[in-house]
Amino acid sequence: MMAAYGGVMASVRSRRLVVIGAGVLGAAVAARLASAGTQVTLLDRDQPGRGASRWSFAWLNSNDKAPRRYHDLNHAGIRAWAELAPDLDGHAWYRPVGHLELATSVAGRAELQARVRRLTEWGYPARLIDPAEAAEIEPALRFPESGGAVAWFPGEGYVLTEPLIARLVARAASHGADVLTGEQGRVTGLDPGPGETLRVRTAAGAVLEADEVVCCAGRWVPELATMAGAACPVPLVDWDRPGATAPGLVVRVGPLASAGPVHLVHTPEVSLRPHSGGLLHLEAPDAAVDLHTPEPDLRRWAAALLRRAQQTVRGLIDARVEEFQVCVRPMPADGQSIVGRLPGAPGLYVAVTHSGVTLAAHLSRLIAAELTTGTAPAGTAPAGLAPYRPARFLTSPSPPASPPPSR
Ligand SMILES: Cc1cc2nc3c(=O)[nH]c(=O)nc-3n(C[C@H](O)[C@H](O)[C@H](O)COP(=O)(O)OP(=O)(O)OC[C@H]3O[C@@H](n4cnc5c(N)ncnc54)[C@H](O)[C@@H]3O)c2cc1C
């Protein structure tokens, strides 16, 4: 029997899989596995979708990803959401609206032009447009009449992660997955069971026997890998010390006096997109905050981002900051996804990545196929997940010196 979702063959009901973490990645993996007929338990110590996924810019893109194979992986991620949306109430969360990017400095314009050239050569929808066309596409924005370069990426968009994750979790549950949250879902131990199995201990005192555990716990994956006694590191860019670069500031502002922007927009000063409830979601790469930044400094940054948006977006003059949050990108040390069975920890499969929103629909399809059939789904890249295995860090465990990419 072919599963209705994901194209993975059923007949795997006897394997017991536990997925840890109900962010966008874990929820998508659980939905794919359950739809394929696997017996799945999805665990989260919070309500689903309250980790990085909740505050993500959630831009679906492969706009500046290297090397080429990682670009292709992200491009496949964008297409995978387009395939899923019609079957998963996409109207509630899927926004394939396109993306406008403005560059004003000489260096910024040159970089944008070179990027558009490269992406076009790679078959990715991208073109430079003049300010008049940009104003037609997005009347809510003020573009400089001269001296700027504007690029249009019509294949990009964003998702609203909260309604999306709710639907992924509901999809998993409707195919028989058990979903446990709070203390019942908080994993406190991963101990070896018979053979290659794992015993998952929860804060509520339960012990779940699992043939395989898929750990999608975002920035907490290394902590859980350590619980399982893994010999192989899962190195992430530092996120908890002062000055760490993985945290970012998210600011949500409103209300808008007139019709607001409908596209995703990057200017040199601010990145923005519409959010639910008539709000705009704002970020800026130069907002230097971390988990230790004092509240008054966060408020000052939030006000600064609102001022920048007011200069760019019409109708924001009476807007105020509705919410702001420092949130952490789960960022692998070399910038690329870490996906696969963890050497030295039998029964433990890990999946942690930046750009997890872009990648979740596609990665979850690859992961579910690997765990259920042992093969890559038809039509996916021949290398599949091979370049992203955790074992690459057995030979080069050191984190990069450069800050994490912002895209
Ligand atoms: C500011 C910001 C902007 C971003 N912008 C983009 C973007 O534009 N496009 C894009 O594609 N990506 C973007 N990202 C990255 C993207 O949001 C993440 O890669 C993605 O959300 C990760 O999802 P996840 O499911 O792996 O992790 P998370 O959403 O963090 O979920 C992990 C879950 O694990 C649970 N958990 C942890 N420990 C335990 C435990 N012991 N027991 C049980 N449960 C546990 C947590 O409660 C959490 O729910 C951005 C991230 C940030 C922070």
Positive or negative: CA dihedral 108, 110, 111, 115: positive
What is the whole-number distance in angstroms between the Cα of residue 266 and the centre of ligand 1? 22
pLDDT at residue 54 greater than cutoff 90: yes
The atom of ligand 1 lying closest to the CA of 219 is 30
pLDDT band at 375 (very low <50, low <70, confident <90, very high): confident
What is the whole-number distance in angstroms between the Cα of residue 230 and the centre of ligand 1? 22
pLDDT at residue 382 greater than cutoff 90: no
What is the predicted pLDDT for the residue at 145? 73
Name the amino acid, one letter, at 206: A
What is the predicted pLDDT for the residue at 189? 98
What is the whole-number distance in angstroms between the Cα of residue 195 and the centre of ligand 1? 31
> How large a percentage of the chain has pLDDT more than 70?
93
Query: If you compute the radius of gyration of the chain from its CA atoms, what whole number of angstroms results?
Result: 21
Closest residue CA from atom 37 of ligand 1: 217
The atom of ligand 1 lying closest to the CA of 327 is 53
Average pLDDT over residues 71-98: 98
**Which pLDDT tens digit goes with each residue over 128-159?**
999 889 999 999 999 877 778 999 999 999 99
Judged by DSSP in three states, 81 sits in helix
d(CA 166, CA 70): 28
pLDDT at residue 402 greater than cutoff 90: no
What is the predicted pLDDT for the residue at 22? 98
pLDDT band at 14 (very low <50, low <70, confident <90, very high): confident
What is the whole-number distance in angstroms between the Cα of residue 158 and the centre of ligand 1? 15
pLDDT at residue 107 greater than cutoff 60: yes
Find the farthest-apart pair of alpha carbons in the chain and give their distance in angstroms, rounded: 69
What is the predicted pLDDT for the residue at 365? 97
d(CA 151, CA 154): 10
What is the predicted pLDDT for the residue at 9? 42
Q: Residue 227: which residues within 8 A CB-CB, separation 6 or more? A: 187, 188, 189, 190
Average pLDDT of the chain to the nearest whole number: 92
The ligand 1 site (C-beta within 6 Å) comprises 20-26, 43-46, 50-53, 55-59, 185-187, 216-218, 220, 224, 248, 250, 327-330, 352-358
